[in-house]
Amino acid sequence: MSTCNFTLQTDISSINYCASGVFYVSLDLFRSMFLFSTPYIINNKLYSFVLNNPIINIRYLVLSDLYPSINPVHAMMGTSLSEGIMYADLSANQLIKHDFIFYLVKQTFNRFDFYWAINNKKELASNLEEIGWIHKNNIKQVLTTAFNSGLGMTNTITDTSNLTRILLKQIEHFDINRLNVSMDFCPCCWYTMSNCSCKDVSMNDIYSGIRNIATFQSVPLIEGDTISYFLNIDVSGNEISARKYKIILYLTNDATKLNSNIHPTDSVTNDNEYQGNITNDGVP
């Protein structure tokens, strides 16, 4: 079973960006967030016309309240999935906010060692955390729009605000077999898939398809899928070019990965003198 790299937009072609950071997020949580319902599952398939016909009975829902607090500037840049880090070392300074400060230092002084000499790193990091918090709130508003007071959306809305439809369309593009009804029983032991322990049956097969029901069900996201969005950080009134980051949400139920997200010790939430709007470090 293949995995998908989702970008929440209609154009799935390559997008230019400078670097990328990663969060590990709960697959189960995201499967609970993105839902759809339709009576038009025909011959155990969700056909393409069901996702495209504006008058067909299908509803897309995002349970926005389930979305975790994610501050993109605290995405990790020292992982094998991230790329474009300005300066890699063994310290904790490998989050996007640190990377951008290294970027400013390199653009200003053309050398990295001045990073350790500048005396306003704390203020810069705090400002970046505030920028990330605003971005987090903007993402939450996009999800709330897709929730649409619990009514969800239909095929009459084809732009990027219809997030669940976008995810299903990208599954259709990358791995259309997921839009088939999943096996209810393991072909080896004949236990239900949720109780199967056969070594030659992938755990992804439990979640690899849809269900033949007319009520709400999960979008068939699987272990290792990624959902990506972009963060553009600019320096107002400065000739230094903006730096565009790809934020990768890696969907997993692996506890080791989920526990490896870095909670920054230099978050403003650890500063007793902080009096702003940020209430947590934004790490899921």
Q: Give pLDDT tens digits for 71-110.
A: 999 999 999 999 999 988 767 679 999 999 999 999 988 8
Q: pLDDT band at 12, cuts 50/70/90?
A: very low
**pLDDT above 80 for 5:** no
**Angle between the N-to-C axes of helices 121-147 and 96-109, in degrees from 0 to 180, rounded to the nearest 10:** 130
pLDDT of residue 100: 95
Nearest in space to 164 (alpha carbons), one of 145, 180, 177: 145
Class of residue 83 by CB neighbours under 10 A (exposed 0-12, middle 13-18, buried 19+): middle
Contact 8, 226 (CB under 8 A): no
Residue-level pLDDT at 164 = 97
The more confidently predicted of residues 121 and 192 is 121
**pLDDT at residue 60 is higher than 80:** yes
CA pair distance 230, 155, nearest whole angstrom: 25
The model's pLDDT over 21-34, given as tens digits with 9 standing for 90+, comes to 999 999 999 999 99
Residue 4's pLDDT band (boundaries 50, 70, 90)? very low
d(CA 195, CA 166) in angstroms, rounded, equals 31
Query: If DSSP codes are grouped into helix, strand and coil, which group holds residue 161?
Result: coil
pLDDT at 198 over 70: no
| 191: confidence class by pLDDT, cuts 50, 70, 90 | low
pLDDT at position 123 is 93
The β-bridge relationship of strands 34-37 and 217-218 is antiparallel
| pLDDT at residue 1, as a whole number | 38
> In this structure, are residues 139 and 161 in contact, taking their beta carbons and an 8 Å threshold?
no
254-259's contacts with Cβ under 8 Å and 24+ in sequence apart are 254/24, 254/223, 257/24, 258/24, 258/25, 258/26, 258/284
Tens digit of pLDDT for each residue in 210-252? 999 999 999 999 999 999 999 999 887 778 899 999 999 999 9
Q: How confident is the model at residue 182 (pLDDT cuts 50, 70, 90)?
A: confident
**266, pLDDT greater than 60:** yes
**pLDDT level of residue 171 (50, 70, 90 thresholds):** very high
Question: Mind listing the pLDDT tens digit for each residue in 124-155?
Answer: 999 999 999 999 999 999 999 999 999 999 99
**Tokens (6 digits) for 54:** 């504006």
pLDDT for res 177: 93
11 confidence band (pLDDT: 50, 70, 90): low
From the centroid of its chain, how far is CA 11? 17
Average pLDDT, the chain: 88
